[in-house]
Amino acid sequence: MKPLVLIVEDIPVLAETYAAALGRADCDVEIAANGAAALECAQRRAPHALVLDVNLPDMSGLDVLHRLRAQGAGCEAVVVTAEGSVNRAVEAMRCGAFDFLVKPFSGDRLRATIASALERTRGEERNGPTPEPAASDRFVGFIGRSPSMEAVYRILRSAAPTNATVFVTGESGAGKELCADALHRLSKRRNGPLVVLNCAAIPRDLLESEIFGHVKGAFTGATADRKGAALQADGGTLFLDEVCEMDLALQAKMLRFLQDKQVRRLG
């Protein structure tokens, strides 16, 4: 029997779009228009994965996830919402969601995410659920197993295998550099360098050279060619701390660099 993916979405055209995208995957698909219908479908046949909208007409999608967990359902949930807030993502991960998608997203992205969720479900069916780590265990340099920290760990695990640019926020001392280090160590770039640059500690007129590098004679004192942090981090990870301290003109150049992944050295 093929694995079952249950789509819980109250907008019919979106539900049919998701179903059509998953029609190319090797799975059965059912659609529920609200939370009550989803719970009823799950009683008839336990789904292996969920595509779960957060905002449903009768209850929150996270409430649906809570109830399914209480019923002992072992499926992985991919939470979908138009509200791309960090708090929403953290809340979904805290409730046990496998991943989090913000509308709009491509059919390829949905299929890839569901394929990963189904693989996780199959692994747990073969080997049993992954045991909860001991309270003393660490996560790539972090200490702590509270629900809030577990949510952070889930997001780091999801982001690390990708080449996406990651924006890390938090109060001073919260552990932003630890996040950058964890992202690097969990990524396929782990054998490359991790280059850390504190933008607040470098004079503004030198910061562009520090990031992008320069050629000999580009300015007074440039006696030799120099690689900047971006080129030094090629094949690895570049962590720019305190990016808000950059001059606005340099922020525009940084945006171009993040979009095009190309560097033009000074001079």
Q: What is the pLDDT along the chain (267 residues), one digit of tens a residue?
A: 788 999 999 999 999 999 999 987 788 999 999 999 999 998 888 899 999 988 889 888 888 888 887 877 778 888 887 766 556 667 777 777 888 888 888 888 888 888 888 887 776 555 454 444 444 467 888 888 777 787 788 888 888 888 888 899 888 888 899 999 999 999 889 999 999 999 888 888 888 889 988 888 777 777 788 888 999 999 999 999 988 888 888 888 888 888 888 888 888
Contact 41, 6 (CB under 8 A): yes
The pLDDT of residue 136: 45
Task: Find the CATH number of the domain harbouring 70.
Answer: 3.40.50.2300
On whether both 85 and 147 belong to a single domain, the answer is no
On whether both 118 and 9 belong to a single domain, the answer is yes
Contact residues for 85 (Cβ-Cβ < 8 A; gap 6+):
none
Which residue in 192, 231, 194, 184 sits closest to 211, CA to CA? 231
Q: Would you call 62 exposed, middle or buried from its count of C-beta atoms within 10 A (0-12, 13-18, 19+)?
A: buried
- The model's pTM: 0.55
Rounded distance between C-alpha atoms, residue 259 and residue 240, angstroms: 16
Radius of gyration (Cα) for the chain, nearest Å? 22
On whether both 29 and 118 belong to a single domain, the answer is yes
On whether both 47 and 120 belong to a single domain, the answer is yes
Choose one of 86, 102, 127: the last residue of a domain: 127
Which residue in 131, 156, 132, 158 sits closest to 145, CA to CA? 132
Give the long-range contacts of residues 245-249, CB within 8 A, separation 24 or more.
Answer: 245/199, 245/200, 246/199, 246/204, 246/207, 247/204, 247/207
The pLDDT of residue 194: 93
On whether both 165 and 95 belong to a single domain, the answer is no
What is the secondary structure of 109-173 as a DSSP string? HHHHHHHHHHHHHHHHHHH-PPPPPPTT-EETTEE--SHHHHHHHHHHHHHTTS---------TT
The pLDDT of residue 106: 86
On whether both 113 and 91 belong to a single domain, the answer is yes
| Cis-peptide, bond into residue 104, ω within 30° of zero | yes
On whether both 180 and 68 belong to a single domain, the answer is no
144-to-94, 133, 134, 254 alpha-carbon distances in Å: 14, 11, 10, 34
On whether both 81 and 113 belong to a single domain, the answer is yes
Contact 263, 231 (CB under 8 A): yes
- Residue 242 backbone zone (phi > 0: left; psi -120 to 50: alpha; other: beta): left
Which residue in 254, 158, 146, 242 sits closest to 196, CA to CA? 242
Choose one of 83, 110, 127: the last residue of a domain: 127
On whether both 109 and 152 belong to a single domain, the answer is no
On whether both 67 and 120 belong to a single domain, the answer is yes
Rounded distance between C-alpha atoms, residue 98 and residue 251, angstroms: 34
Contact 120, 57 (CB under 8 A): no
On whether both 101 and 164 belong to a single domain, the answer is no
The pLDDT of residue 84: 60
Task: Find the CATH number of the domain harbouring 243.
Answer: 3.40.50.300
Structural domain range at position 165:
132-191
The pLDDT of residue 27: 86
The pLDDT of residue 129: 47
CA 246 to chain centre: 25
Contact 102, 84 (CB under 8 A): yes
On whether both 112 and 11 belong to a single domain, the answer is yes
Count: domains in the chain: 3
Choose one of 147, 176, 191: the last residue of a domain: 191
30-to-19, 116, 228 alpha-carbon distances in Å: 8, 19, 52
CA 39 to chain centre: 28
